[in-house]
Chains A and B, each alone.
Chain A
Amino acid sequence: MTQMPDREKFPVHTGGVENFDLESGRYMKVWQGPQHPGVTGNMALELVTSGDEIVDLKTHVGYLHRGFEKLMERRKWIQNFPLVCRICVPEPDFNEYLYAAATEELAGIEIPERAVWIRTLNLEMARLTSFLMWLGGQAGAFGMGTIGQWTVTMRDFMLDLFEELTGGRIYHMYIVPGGVRGDVPQGWFSHVLTTLKNVEKVLDDIELVLFNNAVFKKRAVGLGVITPDMVDYYGITGPNARASGVARDIRKDRSYLIYDKLDFDIITGISIGVDSDIFGRTRLRAAEMRQSISLIRQMIDKMPEGPVHVSPPNVLHWKIPAGETYLSAECTRGEYGYYIVSDGSDKPRRVYVRGPSYTHAVALFEHMAPGTNIADTAGLMVSLHTYPPEIER
Chain B
Amino acid sequence: MVDLKALRAEMDKRYKVIEISEQRTDLAFLECDKIDVPDAVAYLRDHEGYVHLSFITCVDRLEDEQFEIVYMLRNHEKKHDLGVKTKIDRKNPVMDSMHNHWAAVATYQRELREMFGIEFPGSPGVNRPFALESWAGPPPMRRDFDTRKYSEETYFPRPGRETHDPAEHMKKTQYPGRADL
Chain A residues at the B interface, C-beta cutoff of 8 Å: 13, 15-17, 61-62, 65, 67, 69-71, 73-74, 76, 79, 105, 232-235, 237, 248, 253-254, 314, 316-317, 323-326, 328, 335, 337, 339, 341, 349-350, 352, 354, 358-359, 362-364, 367, 391-392
Q: How far is the CA of A17 from the CA of B123 in the complex (A)?
A: 11
Q: How far is the CA of A341 from the CA of B57 in the complex (A)?
A: 12
Contact between B126 and A70, CB atoms less than 8 A apart: no
Are A324 and B26 also in contact (CB < 8 A) when A62-B129, A232-B52, A339-B55 are?
A: no
Q: How far is the CA of A105 from the CA of B132 in the complex (A)?
A: 33
Q: How far is the CA of A135 from the CA of B170 in the complex (A)?
A: 44
Nearest first, the 8 A-B pairs at minimum CB distance are: A16-B125, A16-B124, A62-B131, A363-B103, A359-B104, A392-B131, A352-B57, A65-B131
Contact between A326 and B59, CB atoms less than 8 A apart: no
Query: Does B173 count as interface, using CB distance less than 8 angstroms?
Result: no
| Least CB distance, A270 to chain B, in whole angstroms | 17
Contact between B131 and A323, CB atoms less than 8 A apart: no
| Least CB distance, A200 to chain B, in whole angstroms | 32
The residue from B26, B29, B76, B125 contacting A15, defined by CB atoms under 8 A apart: B125
Contacts of B126 in A (CB 8 A): 16
Are A363 and B166 also in contact (CB < 8 A) when A232-B52, A326-B27 are?
A: no
Count chain A CB atoms within 10 A of each CB in B53, B103, B140 and give the residue with the most: B103
Against A, the Cβ 8 Å flags (1 = close, 0 = not) of B76-96 are 100101010000000000000
Contact between B76 and A253, CB atoms less than 8 A apart: yes
Contacts of A74 in B (CB 8 A): 147-148
Q: How far is the CA of A316 from the CA of B107 in the complex (A)?
A: 37
Contacts of B131 in A (CB 8 A): 61-62, 65, 391-392
Contact between B81 and A70, CB atoms less than 8 A apart: no
Q: How far is the CA of A65 from the CA of B76 in the complex (A)?
A: 32
The residue from A233, A339, A349 contacting B72, defined by CB atoms under 8 A apart: A339
Contact between B181 and A314, CB atoms less than 8 A apart: yes
Contact between B125 and A364, CB atoms less than 8 A apart: no
Contacts of A17 in B (CB 8 A): 125
Count B-side interface residues using an 8 Å CB cutoff: 44
The residue from A62, A70, A352, A362 contacting B147, defined by CB atoms under 8 A apart: A70
10 contacts between A and B (CB under 8 A): A65-B131, A232-B51, A235-B53, A316-B170, A317-B167, A324-B23, A324-B29, A350-B59, A359-B107, A363-B103
Q: How far is the CA of A349 from the CA of B60 in the complex (A)?
A: 9
| Least CB distance, A227 to chain B, in whole angstroms | 14
Q: How far is the CA of A339 from the CA of B123 in the complex (A)?
A: 25
Query: Does B15 count as interface, using CB distance less than 8 angstroms?
Result: no
Contact between A65 and B55, CB atoms less than 8 A apart: no
In this complex, what residue of A is CB-closest to B107? A362
Query: Does B43 count as interface, using CB distance less than 8 angstroms?
Result: no
In this complex, what residue of A is CB-closest to B175? A316
Are A254 and B104 also in contact (CB < 8 A) when A76-B166, A79-B166, A335-B54 are?
A: no
Count chain A CB atoms within 10 A of each CB in B107, B133, B147 and give the residue with the most: B107
Query: Does B5 count as interface, using CB distance less than 8 angstroms?
Result: no
In this complex, what residue of B is CB-closest to A393? B131
Contacts of B143 in A (CB 8 A): 73
Q: How far is the CA of A317 from the CA of B124 in the complex (A)?
A: 45
Contacts of B167 in A (CB 8 A): 316-317
Are A325 and B51 also in contact (CB < 8 A) when A65-B131, A253-B79 are?
A: no
| Least CB distance, A99 to chain B, in whole angstroms | 16
Contact between B107 and A326, CB atoms less than 8 A apart: no
Are A359 and B103 also in contact (CB < 8 A) when A69-B141, A74-B147, A316-B181 are?
A: yes
In this complex, what residue of B is CB-closest to A353? B55
In this complex, what residue of B is CB-closest to A79? B166
Are A363 and B54 also in contact (CB < 8 A) when A17-B125, A62-B132, A349-B59 are?
A: no
The residue from A253, A316, A358, A367 contacting B55, defined by CB atoms under 8 A apart: A358
Are A339 and B141 also in contact (CB < 8 A) when A359-B103, A363-B104 are?
A: no
Against A, the Cβ 8 Å flags (1 = close, 0 = not) of B135-168 are 0000011010001100000000000000000110
Contact between B104 and A235, CB atoms less than 8 A apart: yes
| Least CB distance, A157 to chain B, in whole angstroms | 35
Contacts of A326 in B (CB 8 A): 23, 27, 54, 72, 81, 83
| Least CB distance, A274 to chain B, in whole angstroms | 22
Query: Does B172 count as interface, using CB distance less than 8 angstroms?
Result: no
Are A70 and B140 also in contact (CB < 8 A) when A16-B125, A325-B27 are?
A: yes
In this complex, what residue of B is CB-closest to A64? B131
In this complex, what residue of B is CB-closest to A17? B125
Contact between B132 and A65, CB atoms less than 8 A apart: yes
Contacts of B13 in A (CB 8 A): none
Contacts of B8 in A (CB 8 A): none
Q: How far is the CA of A111 from the CA of B56 in the complex (A)?
A: 30
Contact between A235 and B103, CB atoms less than 8 A apart: yes
| Least CB distance, B136 to chain A, in whole angstroms | 15
Q: How far is the CA of A147 from the CA of B70 in the complex (A)?
A: 43
The residue from A13, A232, A316, A335 contacting B166, defined by CB atoms under 8 A apart: A316
In this complex, what residue of A is CB-closest to B76? A248
Contact between A62 and B130, CB atoms less than 8 A apart: yes
Q: How far is the CA of A25 from the CA of B123 in the complex (A)?
A: 30
Contact between B141 and A15, CB atoms less than 8 A apart: no
Contacts of B104 in A (CB 8 A): 234-235, 358-359, 362-363
